[in-house]
Structure 1
Amino acid sequence: MLDIFFLNNLEHLKIRLDDIKLATNNFSDTYKNSGDDYDARYTVELNHFDKGKPSFVEEKGKTTQPKIHNNTVLIKRFLPRDDEDEQELFFTELEVLITVKHPNIVTLIGFCVEGFEMMLIVEKFANGFLMDYLGNVCTLTWETRLKICIDVAHALSYIHSGMEDKKMIIHGNIASFKFGLDLNWRTKIEDFEWAVILPPDIKDETLYKRTYFESKYHVDPEYANTGKLKRESDVYSFGVVLFELICGRTAYDLIYLKESDKGLIDVARKNFRNGTIEGMIDPTLKEDTDKKSCIPNRGANKDSLHIFLKVANQCVSETQDQRPTMKVVLNELEKALVFQVS
């Protein structure tokens, strides 16, 4: 776990509290866009300059100023707590974001630790979050949905088994509101405060008792019941997101809660057993699935849907040992995309 001592080696990422207060008008609700019991979030234009350098640097007889940065950013302000969670959550996420560099993981711009304040500053997602597009009529084409899933699968496969130093990271909190969409619709995972970082050669599971979950509809039931967190816990949560995308609704949509208080996955399992799962597919995806259309991406290829449904169902298997690895999931999703675009 990182601590204050290691922060001294991250001078280039430090952003002054005064700069953040100026950008947020002293944390005005005008700039606040979300939050929970653990953090508050602000979207702002933030002007700051490279820290760890003097205000003016003499360079070959010329006086130059440090580089000024102007970014539209998301500020994640960790809220004070009576327990030790605040520091642990902050330093866990900071460690992940300075360790992991991947195109499908949110980019860390900087951080602030001053007085009682602990904040992370990350990129803002121009196209919002995946959850914003799930509703009564999902506006995303099937090809776009597949590419979103593949982006996330790449990131999860990487942190589970593809890191160069052989470390392993389990996200532990995967849900559709954790996936940001940038200007080019590339999908990135954020929020690693509940992640578990395991060193090389350590068994790929950890006993991690936790009582707080942002969405009980996305959490691995075996993890919730036993405290045994494994990579397969992320696979389960990702499987819930796969079903959200193919159904076009959130896991806790009222249409599912009316049928089961456990939400989408319980309803999907019943439909799989009854052979009626195709009835849950977002109707907009089934338009002209058997016909060639001059409108690009209008419908979804049936084989593509079937491959997707099969792997999604495997991901949400009730026990961890029945679930596929993220590498297997990624291969199946890429196969589904091939059927869609060919």
Structure 2
Amino acid sequence: MSSPNYHHLAHLKIPLKDIISATNNFAHNISIREAGFGNHYKGKLMWSGELIDIHAQRWNKEWDEKEQQFWMEIFMLSTLKHKNLVSLVGFCDENDEKIIIIKRETRASLVNHLSDSKRLTWLRRLEICLGLAHALSYMHYDEQRDFSVIHRNIDSETVLLNDNWEPKLSEFRLSKKSKVSNTLGYTDPTYLETKSADHKSDMYSFGIVMFELLCAYDCLNEEQSERPNIDEIVTRLEKALEHQLEHHNA
């Protein structure tokens, strides 16, 4: 996807100088994490008259697929609106810098909390799985859109958590027309063999995340036809959460 003419996104453009100020010139001490495509930083940005906490994704200038992935992420985040997806603040495409700004989620990535059984209780784990399932159902089947979205980069690193432990799926740079992320262990074996991804590829990756949280063997079936659809998972998780809440409130 080459650089498009996004006149309708002009209101989302953020001057580079404002981002440099918000991140203290991309200071190392406010780095969230490093990735192959670029680095992540936290900061505070004055935007629309309000000081907000931000998560800045700064693309690596040497990244081969920078142009395509940058615009894919902007397209997806500006199009998809769901409470379990991250919120786009804006972007910068200036002086050979490509930066995407999203709202910063307080608890950062799910991967940081998987081993914390005291704070990440069984009930919270169910709620996180259900939130992600609702997000995938929206992406795969929302009737208000004339297209379906395959995320293709789901793992416990791309799932962010807000202060209330609600999940927010992030990183849409590989969605739809891009290649599947080869995150070790999360990539559908069928894709590795055929190089063809579909909705069930997302289900495999989601299954790995649920396995980390709960255990979800059905989604990990090597036969794509044997994996459940996301709506089936939503129903199962809603029932599990209902039973858990009944037990919790008894």
Distance 2:63 2:217 in 1: 40
2:213 aligned partner: 245
1:219 maps to 187
In the TM superposition, structure 1's runs of 4+ consecutive aligned residues that sit over 6 Å from their partners are none
1:135–1:17: structure 2 CA closer, same or farther, 3 Å change rule? same
TM-score scaled to structure 1, two decimals?
0.68
Correspondent of 2:114 among 134, 152, 157 = 134
Counterpart for residue 16 of structure 2: 17
- Matches of 1:193 and 1:94 in 2, distance apart? 8
Matched with 1:92 is: 72
1:94 to 1:2, Cα distance in 2 relative to 1, 3 A: farther
Quick one: distance in 2 between partners of 1:181 and 1:165?
Answer: 26
The CA deviation at 1:9 is 2.1
Partner of residue 161, structure 1 = 141
The yes-or-no answer on 1:321 pairing with 2:225 is yes
SS in 2 for 1:155: helix
For residue 19 of structure 1, give the secondary structure of its aligned residue in structure 2: helix
What are the equivalent positions in structure 2 for 1:250-261 lying under 5 Å apart? none
Structure-2 residue corresponding to 1:191: 171
| Greater relative CO, 1 or 2 (CA 8 Å, sep 6+) | 2
Q: How many residues align?
A: 246
Question: How far apart are residue 29 of structure 1 and its match?
Answer: 1.1
Per-residue CA deviations over 1:275-318 (Å, capped at 9, x if unaligned) read xxxxxxxxxxxxxxxxxxxxxxxxxxxxxxxxxx5xx2111100
What CA RMSD, in Å, does the superposition of the two structures yield over aligned residues?
A: 1.8
TM-superposed CA distance for 1:190, in Å, is 0.4
1:34 maps to what in 2? Answer: 33
User: Could you tell me how far apart the structure 2 residues matched to 1:102 and 1:80 are?
Assistant: 30
Instruction: Tell me the CA shift for residue 102 of structure 1.
Output: 0.5
Distance 2:125 2:63 in 1: 41
Contact 2:2 2:68 in 1 (8 A): no
Q: Does 1:3 align with 2:3?
A: yes
- Structure 1 residues 56-87: Cα deviation after superposition (integer angstroms, max 9, x where no partner): xxxxxxxxxxx42311100001111263x001
Q: Secondary structure at the match of 2:217?
A: helix
CA shift at 1:116, angstroms? 0.5
Pairwise CA distance, 1:137: 4.6
Contact 1:170-1:196 within 8 A present in 2 as well = yes
2:105 pairs, out of 125, 132, 138, with 125
Q: 1:110 corresponds to which residue?
A: 90
Letter in 2 for 1:42: Y
Residue matched to 1:231: 199
What amino acid is the match of 2:151?
H
Q: What is the CA-CA distance between 1:139 and the residue it aligns to?
A: 3.5
Please identify the structure whose Cα radius of gyration is greater: 1
Quote how far apart the aligned CAs of 1:209 are.
Answer: 5.3
Does the 8 Å contact 2:191/2:197 carry over to 1? yes
User: In structure 2, how many angstroms separate the alpha carbons of the residues matched to 1:185 and 1:138?
Assistant: 13
Partner of 2:46: 47
The unaligned stretches of length 5 or more in structure 2 are none
Q: Answer whether contact 2:91 2:101 (CA < 8 A) is retained.
A: yes
SS at match of 2:157: helix
Contact 1:2–1:92 (8 Å) recurs in 2: no
Does the Cα contact within 8 Å between 2:37 and 2:63 map onto a contact in 1? no
Q: 2:243, 2:194 → 1: CA distance?
A: 39
- Does the 8 Å contact 1:2/1:95 carry over to 2? no
Aligned CA distance change for structure 1 residues 182 and 89 (closer, same or farther; 3 Å):
same
On the 8 A contact 1:39/1:78 being kept in 2, the answer is yes
Q: How much has 1:27 moved relative to structure 2?
A: 1.8
How far is 1:335 from its partner?
Answer: 1.1
One-letter amino acid of the structure 2 residue matched with residue 3 of structure 1: S
